[in-house]
Structure 1
Amino acid sequence: MIIRNHRLTGLSTDVIAELIAEVGPLWHERHLDRLASRPRKRAVGAGAKYRLVFVDRLLVTLVHLRHGSTHDVLACWFGVDRSTITRAIGEMRPLLAERGCTVSPRVRLRTLAEVVEHLGAGGKTGIIDGTEIRVRRPAAGRKDRDRFISGKNKQNAVKFMVVTDGEGRVLWCRPTEPGSCADITHARQSGLVKLLVDGPAVEILADVGYQGLAARTGGRVVTPQHRKFKKNAPDGYEEMYERQRKEHSSLRIRVEHGIAHIKNWRSLTRHRGRREHMSDTVQAVAGPLSHRQTADLIPAQQR
């Protein structure tokens, strides 16, 4: 029932089948390595068997990411203990995060360098933007507690950068940073400037938060023009400025659509778990989402 109903997992049956075929062997291999990594009195495979098989573990994780369901609710639904659900999600989330974003049946993007190379090879335009997710406030007295306060929304948050193509398909999500990190700092720390300067000729559209990167990348990062006149502007300047700003906004609106698709997964609407898991959670959502977007564009017989 869960596999057939895409509203529960956010994915079609074909995409889930591909996830099972790809992630299953990786999970089994890591499971055996974990069992063999410590001294044992019984052979690997002996003892009690898992009550929650691999397919159920994958479905539990997808439902948790899609709807933000608590571990207690999922435990009641699947008839196991809450700790079993917590362990299952902790095992599956990194595996989903490591898959990267799918842009074609044989192309998987895992790093920003691969994204820039993919855009350059296809002569495509990329779009970047940062977004925030509200998180729990760090405990009083914790070091760097104020770093999580967003200067924009005045709340405790983490921030991550999203890269999409001109159609709004998610290509990459950067690991999260505390909410006080500026968008342009996030881009610099990811190595975007060096990749654009030394790599293929790629145009990247960005908003005003990235102004300043154009000069450092030879104009490959395109941002709205600075407002040159705040007072006593020449005749026609305001009209020209607004026209240029709207034209740029209409081109980069696709990244906002991509971010909206990511945040439709309720685990990223407001995160109530451990902040240390946020990067894996973001990338675990971006991977299946991009897989679904690609599957929607490619007929089944070509996959």
Structure 2
Amino acid sequence: MIISNRRITGLSAEVISELVAEVGPLWHERHQVRLSARPRKRSVEAGAKHRLVFVDRLLATLVHLRHGATHDVLACWFGVDRSTITRAIGEVRPLLAGRGCTVSPGVRLRTLAEVVEHLGASGKTGIIDGAEVRVRRPAAGRKDRDKFTSGKNKQNAVKSMVVTDGKGRVLWCSPTEPGSCADITHARQLGLLKLLADGPPVEVLADAGYQGLGAQSGGQVVTPPHRRFKKDAPAWYEEMYERQRKAHSSRRIRVEHGIAHLKNWRSLARHLGRREHISDTVQAVAGLLSHQQTADLIPARQR
């Protein structure tokens, strides 16, 4: 089927097969619970059967996340009503979001605490940065309308903290916060400082948006050097400062590559749906991307 092609879904056929085997039973279990929980005049599973089987529901969700295809377009492709596609995506997307990020076959990271523990156990360096996703402007008259305005881009956006390893592989994406939330504030709200204090020694690279966490974390968070001279800096200091800044930037540039791979999924380039679904969308895409990245590292003969 052409819609299951990697250029359409962003995933290889092997990864899609693994998703069907993993997520399918979870979807079926939740579906049975919903059927049993409501008053009924007929037995469960009686009546007309689904016109959209689970595999098609999964594929529709993947195409929606990858290319931002509208529900109307997907309904035409699959030959069902638009409401069926909307309901299918609403059921599958949370299941994908709850999978976490795959770092190796059978190993998933679902929380920031698990990420810190993984980095400490493996001795790897983590890199953090804030990723902004543009969203629609809240309706006029809402009291919290301005809090979605990003201070950096001056656009309506939500923000997620992305954690990658030194090679740019996505390890975790946080739930989103309104775009006005500063990067350092978001990191504190997620409990990063406490996790670093209580966990194993970890080196975490960050940009200037996290300056201040270095001293508070005992040097575990490494940020660019502070500029000591506001003006009329000596030539030797300018040269040293630029050299240190570029050295730090070259170490943490991999997180930008990881965010770029996330933004290749059209649903994160600009989110046009409801803002309450954006956290699930970000975490679902991160989980799918990390799963495919892990699969690409395994030679074909070992699969």
Instruction: Indicate if the aligned counterparts of 1:101 and 1:171 stay in contact, CA closer than 8 A.
Output: yes
Report the alpha carbon displacement of residue 298 of structure 1 after superposing the two structures with TM: 1.5
Q: Name the counterpart of 2:245.
A: 245
The reply to whether residue 206 of structure 1 matches residue 206 of structure 2 is yes
Q: Name the counterpart of 2:59.
A: 59
After superposition, residues 101-120 of structure 1 pair within 5 angstroms as 101-120=101-120
After superposition, residues 193-272 of structure 1 pair within 5 angstroms as 193-272=193-272
Q: Name the counterpart of 1:294.
A: 294
1:55-82 deviation line (CA, Å, top 9, x unaligned): 0000000000000000000000110000
Q: How many residues align?
A: 303
The reply to whether residue 179 of structure 1 matches residue 179 of structure 2 is yes
Q: Which stretch has the larger CA shift, 273-282 or 138-147?
A: 138-147
Report the alpha carbon displacement of residue 39 of structure 1 after superposing the two structures with TM: 1.4
C-alpha separation between the residues in 1 aligned to 2:244 and 2:30?
Answer: 53
Q: Name the counterpart of 2:100.
A: 100
SS of 2:62's equivalent in the other structure is helix
Report the alpha carbon displacement of residue 49 of structure 1 after superposing the two structures with TM: 0.6
Q: Name the counterpart of 1:123.
A: 123
Describe the shift of the 1:4–1:154 C-alpha distance in structure 2 as closer, same or farther (beyond 3 A): closer
Q: Name the counterpart of 2:18.
A: 18
Report the alpha carbon displacement of residue 148 of structure 1 after superposing the two structures with TM: 0.5
SS of 1:160's equivalent in the other structure is strand
TM-score normalised by length of structure 1: 0.98
C-alpha separation between the residues in 1 aligned to 2:301 and 2:143?
Answer: 54
After superposition, residues 123-162 of structure 1 pair within 5 angstroms as 123-162=123-162
SS of 2:293's equivalent in the other structure is helix
Report the alpha carbon displacement of residue 3 of structure 1 after superposing the two structures with TM: 5.8
C-alpha separation between the residues in 2 aligned to 1:231 and 1:279?
Answer: 42
Instruction: Indicate if the aligned counterparts of 1:8 and 1:63 stay in contact, CA closer than 8 A.
Output: yes
Q: Name the counterpart of 1:5.
A: 5
C-alpha separation between the residues in 2 aligned to 1:194 and 1:279?
Answer: 23
Report the alpha carbon displacement of residue 302 of structure 1 after superposing the two structures with TM: 4.0
Report the alpha carbon displacement of residue 196 of structure 1 after superposing the two structures with TM: 0.5
TM-score normalised by length of structure 2: 0.98
1:238-278 deviation line (CA, Å, top 9, x unaligned): 01100111110001000000000001000111111100000
C-alpha separation between the residues in 2 aligned to 1:61 and 1:2?
Answer: 15
**Unaligned 5+ residue runs, structure 1?**
none
Q: Name the counterpart of 1:170.
A: 170
Report the alpha carbon displacement of residue 234 of structure 1 after superposing the two structures with TM: 2.9
Instruction: Indicate if the aligned counterparts of 1:2 and 1:9 stay in contact, CA closer than 8 A.
Output: no
Report the alpha carbon displacement of residue 230 of structure 1 after superposing the two structures with TM: 2.0
After superposition, residues 61-76 of structure 1 pair within 5 angstroms as 61-76=61-76
**Unaligned 5+ residue runs, structure 2?**
none
Instruction: Indicate if the aligned counterparts of 2:124 and 2:166 stay in contact, CA closer than 8 A.
Output: yes
1:213-235 deviation line (CA, Å, top 9, x unaligned): 00110000000000101223234
Instruction: Indicate if the aligned counterparts of 1:101 and 1:288 stay in contact, CA closer than 8 A.
Output: yes
C-alpha separation between the residues in 2 aligned to 1:11 and 1:235?
Answer: 51
The one-letter code of the counterpart of 2:5 is N
1:61-112 deviation line (CA, Å, top 9, x unaligned): 0000000000000000110000000000000000000000000112100000
Report the alpha carbon displacement of residue 143 of structure 1 after superposing the two structures with TM: 2.1
Report the alpha carbon displacement of residue 145 of structure 1 after superposing the two structures with TM: 1.0
Describe the shift of the 1:76–1:4 C-alpha distance in structure 2 as closer, same or farther (beyond 3 A): closer
1:100-148 deviation line (CA, Å, top 9, x unaligned): 0000112100000000000000000000000111111111111211100
